[in-house]
Amino acid sequence: MIEVLEILKYTLPAIIVLIVAVVFIKQIVKNDQNRRNYDILAKNQQLITPVRLQAYERLTLLLERISPESLIMRINKPNMTTKQLQTELLSTIRSEFDHNVSQQIYVTPQVWEIIKNARAKITQLINISATKVKPEAPAIQLSKIILEDLMKIDKSPVSLALDALKAEVKHLY
């Protein structure tokens, strides 16, 4: 019995020291791993944030370029018919959108959906306005109707999308 007590006298403190050492080592390893993860996340943020900001800039430019006012000023040419203008407007919207579709990976799905809705509403506005004018009429008539119909809307689809983009950018900081 004395031998067992003698053995316990030496092994019990050694076991306690071992348990404490294991707990401390696990905590140190965990803290080190957390620090490494934070460093990796911080480095990724440094790389990704400028790219995301560029995506927001490109999407802002997309929205500005597909706004009816901008489109009409860029595309409307003398001697164009209503049908030609409508075709060019829709083609330009499609082209601009297709050119920037990859930017969706940098914005939230909600903002991307708002941008898609803006494009759809502008396309719809152009098509509805075009039904109010004869296809062979001068393009200036369609331009006038598009702008008048746009003014009847409380807030343009482009403005709504730009507001959503700006709000999301504010959350980056």
Per-residue pLDDT reduced to its tens digit, 129-155: 999 999 999 999 999 999 999 999 999
Q: What's the pLDDT score for residue 40? A: 84
Hunting for tokens 């098509």 — which residue is that?
A: 127
Q: 5-17: per-residue pLDDT in tens?
A: 888 888 888 899 9
Mean pLDDT of the 100-118 span: 95
- Residue-level pLDDT at 71: 95
Residue 166 has pLDDT above 90, yes or no: yes
Q: State mean pLDDT over 102-124.
A: 96
pLDDT digits (tens, 9 = 90+) for 36-90: 999 888 887 777 788 889 999 999 999 999 999 999 999 999 899 999 999 999 9
Q: What does the CA dihedral 30, 33, 39, 45 come to, rounded to 10 degrees?
A: -100
Give the separation between CA 75 and CA 78, rounded to whole angstroms.
Answer: 10
158 Cα distance to chain centroid: 15
pTM: 0.75
